[in-house]
Amino acid sequence: MEAPMKFAQIIDFETERIEEMRALVQEADKRASSRSGGPTHRLVLQDRNQPGRYLVVLEFDSYDEAMRNNSDPETSRMAERMAALCSRPPSFTDCDVREMTELK
């Protein structure tokens, strides 16, 4: 049986309130540590050419795991709170992870 393919979601958003966003994420991380599932990695990127624009890459063990996380009421509440800190609605891109290579 083939192992499930890893899955990544990219969240593209703009905010002038990044420190409040970070505090919200840290609070959510504490709550999430007591439950199974959810993202396995998070990468936060800041656009050098557009101040206030950020990309967050969340990695999950599988698409199914990501969908379970998305349907969790706690995830919905956090997404609403995060959107309130954004200067435009965030956009989401769903990706199957085809290849990942550690270069160093």
Going by pLDDT thresholds of 50, 70 and 90, the confidence category of residue 34 is low
Tokens standing for residue 101: 């290579």
- Per residue in 68-88, pLDDT (tens digit) is 999 988 888 989 999 999 999
**Is the entire prediction scored with pTM above 0.85?**
yes
Going by pLDDT thresholds of 50, 70 and 90, the confidence category of residue 36 is confident
Distance CA 27, CA 23 (A): 6
Going by pLDDT thresholds of 50, 70 and 90, the confidence category of residue 90 is very high
* pLDDT at residue 75, rounded to an integer: 87
DSSP-based three-state secondary structure for 90: strand
